[in-house]
Amino acid sequence: MKKIILIRHAKSAWDNPWLSDHDRPLADRGKRDAPMMAKRLKKRGIKPDIILSSTAKRAAETALITAQELEFPVQEISWENNLYHSSPSTILKYIHLQKDSKNTMLIFGHNPGLNDLIEYLGGNLDNLPTSGQFGFTLKSEHWNELSPKTAQVWFVDYPKKKG
């Protein structure tokens, strides 16, 4: 069974107004939340075969923290500049291009693209918060068939969610 988890980057720092948006690092809260949320994935038994991440610093740091916690080789993370503030159609394009031999995919990105993709695929969520995770399973063995007809909500999790 194919599984995909969309992950919004952890909370970013805004203390340097001269940094470009792309270069903003994680805030202290993000540095706390990212490992905590990665541990929750580990507790669920998540073992990714593919990690795709935006190249924005806050997304990249979140992906690296998660990969290390899940014992995924960081050198195998696919860094995709086009995932930075991407549309749902761009995110879907990257998903559809993945090899069917891989079964569990994590994508690290940004809102509003992640929110819009979640809604398109049938998820019901007002806003995916920073460090939030939204999981889908596919009723197909082919990544290029991910659509509202093949996606099924698996779980949603975020730092302030209880139990």
Query: Is 120 exposed, middle or buried (CB count within 10 Å of its CB: 0-12, 13-18, 19+)?
Result: middle
Residue 162 lies in a domain: no
Tokens 């996606």 belong to residue: 151
Residue 64 lies in a domain: yes
Contact 71, 45 (CB under 8 A): no
pTM of the predicted model over 0.95 = yes
Give the residue-averaged pLDDT of 133-147: 97
Residue 58 lies in a domain: yes
* pLDDT tens-digit series, residues 103-132: 999 999 999 999 999 999 999 999 999 999
Q: What whole-number distance in Å separates Cα of residue 144 and Cα of residue 85? A: 22
Per-residue burial over 13-45, b if 16 or more Cβ lie within 10 Å, else e, is: beeeeeeeeeebbbbeebbebbbebbebbeeee
Residue 30 lies in a domain: yes
58 marked as part of a ligand binding site: yes
CATH of the domain at 81: 3.40.50.1240
User: What's the number of domains the chain is made of?
Assistant: 1
Residue 148 lies in a domain: no
Residue 123 lies in a domain: yes
Residue 142 lies in a domain: no
Domain that holds residue 64: 3-8+20-102+111-131
* pLDDT tens-digit series, residues 3-31: 999 999 999 998 888 999 999 999 999 99
